[in-house]
Structure 1
Amino acid sequence: MNVAVKAPVSTLIQQAAGRIAPNWPLDKLIAVNPYWQMRQLSMHEVAVNLSWLGGVHVYGDVSHYQHVSDDDLAQALSALGHELTVAQFKQQPLKQPQPWQNVAQLADLERDSEREISWNDEVVHQISQFAGDYFASQPQTGAGCDDFYAAWLDTICHDHGLEILMKSKGLVEQFKALPSDATTLVEQALTMLGVTDEAQVDYLHALLLSINGWASYSAYVGWQAMLAGKQNNVVEQLLAVRLAWELVLWQQLSSSELQINWKRQLAHSNQLKGEHQAYVDGLQVWHLANEMQIQQGLHQQLRTPLPAKDNAALSLQAVFCIDTRSEVMRRALEAQSPSIQTKGFAGFFGLPIAYAVGSYQRPQLPGLLAPQLEVREASSGKLATAQYSAQWQKFAKSSAGGFSLVESTGLLYLGGLVKNTLGLGKAKVTEFGPLTLSKQGKALPLSEQADMAAGILGSMGFTDEFADTVLLLGHGSQCQNNPHEAGLDCGACGGQTGEVNVRLLCQLLNDAAVREALIERGIHIPDATTFVPGLHNTTTDEVIVLSGQVPEQIEQWLAGATEQASSERAKLSASPDAKQKARDWSQTRPEWGLANNACFIVADRKRSQHLNLGGRSFLHDYNWANDKDFALLTTILTAPMLVTNWINMQYNASVTDPLKYGAGNKTLHNVVGGNIGVFEGNGGDLRIGLPLQSVHDGQKYMHTPTRLNVYVDAPKHAIRNIIDAHDNVRWLIDNDWLYLYQLRDDGICRYHQGYWHPVQ
């Protein structure tokens, strides 16, 4: 039965491709919400669709929620409108029904699995190997890739080994008969396969899910093109390649059993989706019960009466990234003296920059944004040496270079590995010169420097109170031989450390001309105040001063904070020696990153300073009384809150579905194309998300899946106006991708779908 395609095929392709979220390459790795492109739908609806179309687990299975109490289950059942008792609910079996089967999967029902290679496995393998070679040869600029389908078709039409491997004579002739145009191919395939109008987009989405890793990387290429103001359709071309395989198998095999199974599935697709609906409805109860348990603990902590304010004169102010790992370090530093104040701010410090060396450029800001300014090292005699050293170190630390370097340099490099692992290597010396800042090739004018500095200072809450020493602390991780190292650095800095950002901002704020211009903008920085750049090593909790010196007293406070924070983190690790783990090239778990993140608090530090949030909270300082027109709150809810959602959902997805959204076992990784991503073993789909060792300690998961709980200390009308004015914010809240609460002295209220609900 042939069914004419009524909707324009280009629209169908774009709709399916538009459901795939981007995944950044290894050298710029940041956390991504893998469901981001479907945020216009409710999370539960997405969970049902993905379970049906790809066997995906958006909620965890029951094993993730064994700690949930019957009282929490009862509350969840009631909240979701179920009439079952807890006992009745627990007696119901929860087994995922069979998801949608593509033609390649149905074709495998007729193959001898013990003697013949799976069609589905070969389809994924062939596309994956081609994509790896293709993208490795392309510049990562967002341009190009317009010939993906044509290049694939040319390659496979000359691959006569496929017929021998799959024992299928005439296979190559089928490929040679395919249309040369990707759009024509899609239209022809949908017609010949008889896919009904209402099923077409879902079927195309299912095909992309079958090669989700490469679909996600292709979406990244398209995302970069969008940021650069260009267009790129490589996801659509990848979809055409995957559908071409379906059409070829349909024509090549064309057995009555295959056709019967395919037509039966199409006819009963609504029934199959209904079975997944019932299954996911059950998992939703467990997931919500778990969240209710977490929320009760958070609400109780945040209702704790605030301690009396200490009016000690400030000796040190330290600004950290809002990263959850900073919560532990901020508590530890504040405990050293009442004269220390810490602040939380997005780790790129509001600088819309890219860092450039030669022709190489990397963004130092969130992936949602495009850089507007370029930063370079000022010319010096040491710059050439520094560039050479940086290139060598980059190769040595990469997984592609880690072991090949040993092979090429032999025992000379082996000795270095041993020394480094045992802590016998030379200590790094931090010595940095000035940076240059330009816009479209021209030095940034003083007035624009001052405007930017004034905006950043205001956003950080610096207006009239400055200590003599102000530390601006970026953060980065320390580990060896780790392809996913960038994922442990600052996501707000595009998967880099915050070193460049804090160096540049301190340089601006210490500049006499900039300070003079700031006075005209209502900000007076005392002559005694010095801004000092530093880096918080999240693996060892050491603070490295990047330029200049700090008083001995501050050095002692930093050392004390390191000892306290590292002692707290050691309780999560079977190997408490963080410094040794950071040096060990065989270490698969150097640190836990942002595992177990659960909340984001947007409020003055006084609301959380007396609480131990266990490294589970993002902390962004905010005082609504100083926020004219709530411009800063708008920025926080439309940028940092979106980034924290990405982080939260990536950790959740890497736990609930490690096969589709996790990177697999680190010990089996092989890097693809230098920095594109990893295979687990020597083939299969590109693996995305977090490696297993980033969320699991070998016995249990270190992250509990829960949607992010966002607490905002601001008037209801201000929060509501921002939600109404920004679709992304409204979708995340109303479609249940996160929880949003107002946090005030008189209690906690939840905002959802236009209404405020007091939290009991």
Structure 2
Amino acid sequence: MMRSIRKSKADAKTILAQPVESHLSDNQKQAVMKACELIAPTWPLDELIAVNPWWEMRDMPFTKVSAKVSALRKAQCLMPKSYFQEVWMETLLPDHLEQAAQDLGKDFSVETLERYLIEDDERSHWHNISDLVDSGRDRKYKMAWRDEITHQVSQFCADFFRFKENEGCYGRTYSGLYSEWLGTTRQDMGIEILMAEDGLTQHFLDLPEEPETLLATALVELRVSDDVVTDYMQALLMDVNGWASWVAYLRWQDRLSGYDNQLMIEFLAIRVAWELVLWRHQRDRDRSVFNELKVMWLHQMNILPELIRMHEVAQEKLWVWQRASEIAYQTNVSQQLKHSSDRAESETPSEAQTVLQAAFCIDVRSEVIRRALESQDARIETIGVAGFFGLPIEYHPVGTDVSRPQLPGLLKSGIKVSPLLPELTKQDASAKLNKKARWIEWGNAAPATFSMVEATGLMYAFKLLRNSLFPHDYEHPVNHLPTSDSFELTQDEAELSNEQKADLAAGILTAMGLDRHFAETVLLVGHGSSSCNNPHAAGLDCGACGGQTGEINVRVLAFLLNDSAVRETLKKKGIVIPDNTRFIAAMHNTTTDEFTSFGSEKVSETVKKWLSQATVLARQERAIRLGLSHLEQNEVHARIKRRAKDWSQVRPEWGLSNNAAFIVAPRHRTRHVNFEGRSFLHDYDWQQDKDLSLLTQIMTAPMVVANWINLQYYASVCDNLVYGSGNKVLHNVVDGCIGVFEGNGGDLRIGLPLQSLHNGNTWMHEPLRLSVYIDAPLEAIAEVAANNEVVRQLIDNEWLYCFCWDRDGSVERFLSSKA
């Protein structure tokens, strides 16, 4: 039987027909869709935020997810035995191991657990068809199929997902993913030549035209039983996990806008197509070899549940070691909190004495500078809030049609913010942008490959020399556009009314605990970082602001709270801001620990002095981790400033490395605790939260963001090959902002680079699950968990630990399954 298909738009080719199953059964479709939902998103470089790579599997216990990804992809959720050998009897003690074994219900002695660390630990793993074919391939003279598939799919995706004008949703913008790949691959004779496999191209010509048909045909032909479909599809997606994560991001964004798309199904079809091609190619090439392949394949599918269970059992002792590490840290924190509670009871703060209030992001880097600032005067009060300061905004600068989100990736912006500027300034900004756009367009045009280099090469040589000898700060291009201290806030194309602005302000002040008393000066402190030649720079900025600095958020909030009309309306809502209170927007540079203020409201000389002295103290503390503590103060300052501007510096700062705790409590209860820059600090007073709305907000938003950050760092340390982005020095940026390749190909790399986690000698991040301590009654925590499935999943499946911290200093672990 013969049939015709299009090989390209220009011609057609007659090919042999293959058995085709046109539709997935209901069970198959459900299983395929489930696999597609298991991939967490990765954000583009210019909006980079930390993501829990196992987020879409949070409905399963972490231990079971660990076993599954280990069996399917050799992905690791635990540190190797060698790591625990190093910390044993240093930070990890026998008592910690004994308690960990008891907590996990395991009857392992300390001696058994010690012996385990020196035992061999070989386990078999799942193999995709491409892996099985590779096992019989002459690797001395032929490239591995796994490498070729990854490279081919990755290079195609890098070209296909180039920036395109958005057509309302990504599903429409990037429609035809599978068909585009199929057409491209059918015309690529180079694959057959490179892999030295005659007749390979014919099998691509035989593939079905529709992704669902391809999937249905492959599942039948490969004899994949319904109970294995999800695991097999997940294994294939994890084979190209970087690009699968990018597709998940496009899906995430569409869902925030009320759309959905089929890009993940089409992407999966591409990877399944390669499996089917290799299966057919082996069948037609050598029947005896194919029969061996078929036996191995069918046997593997039959034992897959047993294989996953074997990995779960094999990891039991390693989980005891991991739990013991977390107990060691939690024991220390609990002791500090107990001591702090005793001291806080005898030092009740006086609202009347407060001369400065400073609201910071909950970021762990803020913990260091807050301590340093508070040490300047007992009358200084600092406050911890989510770094976007409760503003669900996207920033639309003048002179451009683009806007950028300034809120957590979990949320969708509802308000557009634009600076109020004179018309002439807007026209000037637009003209400059158009000029730059024409320059970039010329540089990207094919004919400019040689002409632009010939015309401007010498100029760029001087630029390279200048940047080497006279380094300077680099910022997000949008930050160079003109802004102001006044803003227009619109929602659905209509400007916000004074009542709406007041409602927004009231909600923010209440969440900050600033609805009852105000100092004369209230600093609203956003944060950002300084580095150059750093594709991952946004990852050092504020995650709660969508990978941007918090400058826009604090400037907008200061504008709202200083507005006399807004203040008058707030009075009607029971919030009275004294006439002499002024809100001042400021920025904390987490790389240099310097402060910058904005707006017409000036910081007093006294406050300036406090901020300057806090900068010195914070730098001294951070100098220890940067290896600069042996230097004099002035030299430390110079070195840190240089790091921020040095385009060869791969470690400008340590970001949120070593994060481990999230404290939800009034600041006066933790003011005397040194968390060593390892804790997120969120202010909260349960006695002012009768309906638990604030606690619900904290546990469903900032706590989740902290979980994302914590497990992004955790995963990037445990398995940088799968969940991290490798060596910074080898990075090549994909289409400006999609992500990076390590070298000139391979999969899209996600997660954190090695240099953000390791100083060349040792890990700078200790991989511990987040320990959340909440100053609230156990019943209140239980009620929030009962009403929010995501919170229950994170707690009960042990993606984080949740503790109730009582006013008497006692700490009790909370599990909603035992509440």
- Give the drift of 1:278: 2.2
**Worse-matched range after superposition: 379-388 or 661-670:** 379-388
1:52 to 64, 71, 90: 71
Letter in 1 for 2:459: T
SS in 2 for 1:37: helix
- TM-score after normalising by structure 2: 0.88
Query: Aligned partners of 2:483 and 2:112: how far apart in 1?
Result: 66
Identify which of 94, 104, 114 aligns with 1:90: 114
Aligned residue among 338, 343, 346 for 1:306 = 343
CA 1:299–1:480 in structure 2 vs 1: closer, same or farther (change >3 Å)? Answer: same
Partner of 2:447: none
1:22 corresponds to which of 15, 19, 41: 41
Name whichever of 673-682 and 276-285 sits farther off.
276-285
Within 2, Cα distance between the matches of 1:730 and 1:395? 52
What pairs up with 1:572-651 in 2 under 5 angstroms? Answer: 572-575=625-628, 576=636, 577-651=639-713
CA contact (8 A) 2:349 2:668 kept: no
Corresponding residue to 2:413 among 330, 347, 371: 371
Given that residues 731 and 743 in structure 2 are in contact (C-alpha distance below 8 angstroms), is that contact kept between their aligned partners in structure 1? Answer: yes
Q: Please state whether the residue corresponding to 1:382 is helix, strand or coil.
A: helix
Q: Which residue is 1:414 aligned to?
A: 464
Alignment of 1:59-458 (within 5 A): 59-65=78-84, 66-67=86-87, 68-92=92-116, 93=119, 95-139=121-165, 141-144=169-172, 145-254=174-283, 255-304=290-339, 305-307=342-344, 308-309=347-348, 311=350, 313-357=353-397, 358-380=400-422, 381-385=424-428, 407=457, 409-421=459-471, 432-458=484-510
Greater displacement, 80-89 / 175-184: 80-89
CA displacement at 1:407 relative to structure 2:
5.0
Letter in 2 for 1:102: N
Q: What whole-Å deviation, never above 9, does each CA across 1:650-672 have from its counterpart, x for those lacking one?
A: 00000001000001100000001
Report the CA distance shift for 1:355/1:303 in structure 2 as closer, same or farther (over 3 A).
Answer: same
Q: Distance in 1 between matches of 2:393 and 2:232?
A: 41
Say whether the 8 Å CA contact 1:9–1:186 is kept in structure 2.
Answer: no
CA contact (8 A) 1:306 1:606 kept: no
Cα-to-partner distance string for 1:581-619 (whole Å, 9 max, x where unaligned):
001011100111110111101100011100100000000
Equivalent residue letter for 1:112: D
Aligned partners of 2:47, 2:431: CA distance in 1, in Å? 20
Q: Identify the residue that residue 551 of structure 2 maps to in structure 1.
A: 499
Report the structure number with the largest CA radius of gyration. 2
SS in 1 for 2:170: coil
Cα distance change, pair 147–124 in 1 and its aligned pair in 2 (3 A): same
Distance 1:98 1:463, change over 3 A: same
Indicate if the aligned counterparts of 1:94 and 1:279 stay in contact, CA closer than 8 A.
Answer: no
Picking from 763, 767, 774, the partner of 1:705 is 767
Unaligned ranges ≥5, structure 1? none
Partner-residue secondary structure (3-state), 2:353: coil
Over aligned residues, Cα RMSD in angstroms? 2.6
Stretch moving more, 536-545 or 311-320: 311-320
Taking a change above 3 Å as real, the CA distance of residues 11 and 270 of structure 1, as seen in their structure-2 partners, is closer
- What is the TM-score of this pair, normalised by structure 1? 0.95
SS of 1:711's equivalent in the other structure is strand
- Write out per-residue CA displacement over residues 25-81 of structure 1, whole angstroms, 9 at most, x where no aligned residue: 101100100000011111111111111111111121123333122322222222222
Deviations 1:696-728 (A, max 9, x none): 111111111111111111122211111001000
Counterparts of 1:176 and 1:636, CA distance in 2:
54
SS state at 2:692 partner: helix
What are the superposed Cα offsets for residues 666-692 of structure 1, whole Å, 9 maximum, x if unpaired?
000000111000000001100000011
Q: Aligned to 1:121, what secondary structure does the other structure show?
A: helix
CA contact (8 A) 1:345 1:620 kept: yes
Aligned length: 751
Q: CA deviation at 1:315?
A: 1.7
Separation in 2, partners of 1:672, 1:214: 11
1:468 shift after superposition: 1.2
* C-alpha contact (below 8 Å) 1:432/1:546 kept by paired residues: no
Give CA-to-partner distance per residue, 1:1-31, whole Å, 9 cap, x none. 9999754433222100100001101011001
Letter in 1 for 2:557: L
Summarize the alignment of residues 478-627 of structure 1 with structure 2, pairs less than 5 Å apart.
478-548=530-600, 549-575=602-628, 576=636, 577-627=639-689
Q: Distance in 2 between matches of 1:384 and 1:415?
A: 33
CA pair 392-620 structure 1, distance change in 2 beyond 3 A: farther
Post-superposition offset of 1:385: 4.8
CA distance in 2, matches of 1:396, 1:465: 53
Select which of 731, 734, 738 maps to 2:800.
Answer: 738
Asked if 1 retains the 8 angstrom alpha-carbon contact of 2:592 and 2:640, the reply is yes
Measure, in 2, the Cα distance between the counterparts of 1:392 and 1:319.
40
Which residue identity lines up with residue 566 of structure 1 in the other structure?
R
Cα distance in 2 for partners of 1:714, 1:85 equals: 36
What is the CA distance between 1:285 and its match in structure 2? 1.2
Q: CA deviation at 1:749?
A: 1.2
For residue 186 of structure 2, what is the amino acid of its counterpart?
A: C
State the Cα distance separating 1:530 from its structure 2 match. Answer: 0.8
| DSSP-derived class of the 2:773 partner | strand
Rounded Cα–Cα distance in structure 2 between residues aligned with 1:263 and 1:394: 56
C-alpha separation between the residues in 1 aligned to 2:261 and 2:20?
A: 31
- Asked if structure 1 preserves the Cα contact closer than 8 Å seen for 2:96 and 2:325, the reply is yes
The Cα shift of 1:309 comes to: 3.2
Cα separation, 2, equivalents of 1:394 and 1:97: 54
- Alignment check: 8 A CA contact 1:423 1:580 kept: no
1:681 pairs with 743, 750, 759, which one? 743
Separation of aligned partners in 2, 1:750 and 1:272: 33
Contact 2:502 2:566 (8 Å CA) reproduced? yes
Separation in structure 2 between the aligned mates of residue 390 and residue 573 of structure 1, nearest angstrom: 38
Q: Given that residues 431 and 546 in structure 1 are in contact (C-alpha distance below 8 angstroms), is that contact kept between their aligned partners in structure 2?
A: no
Paired amino acid for 1:41: M
The residue identity in structure 2 corresponding to 1:455 is: G
**Deviation of 1:349 (Å):** 0.6
Three-state SS of the structure 2 residue aligned to 1:480 is: coil
Evaluate the alpha carbon distance shift between residue 390 and residue 333 of structure 1 in structure 2; reply closer, same or farther with a 3 A threshold: farther
1:339 positional shift: 1.7
Distance 1:206 1:337 in 2: 57
Structure 1 contact 142–223 (Cα < 8 Å) conserved: no
Residues 406 and 617 (structure 1), Cα distance of their counterparts in 2 relative to 1, 3 Å cut? farther
Q: Distance in 1 between matches of 2:580 and 2:465?
A: 47
Q: CA deviation at 1:87?
A: 1.4
Q: Report the secondary structure of 1:410's partner residue.
A: helix
Contact 1:475–1:489 (Cα < 8 Å) also in 2: yes
Name the stretch that deviates more: 257-266 or 730-739.
Answer: 257-266
| CA contact 1:431–1:547 (8 Å) conserved in 2 | no
CA contact (8 A) 2:526 2:553 kept: yes
Contact 2:63 2:312 in 1 (8 A): no
Aligned partners of 1:430 and 1:546 also within 8 Å: no
Deviation at 1:422, TM superposition (A): 7.8
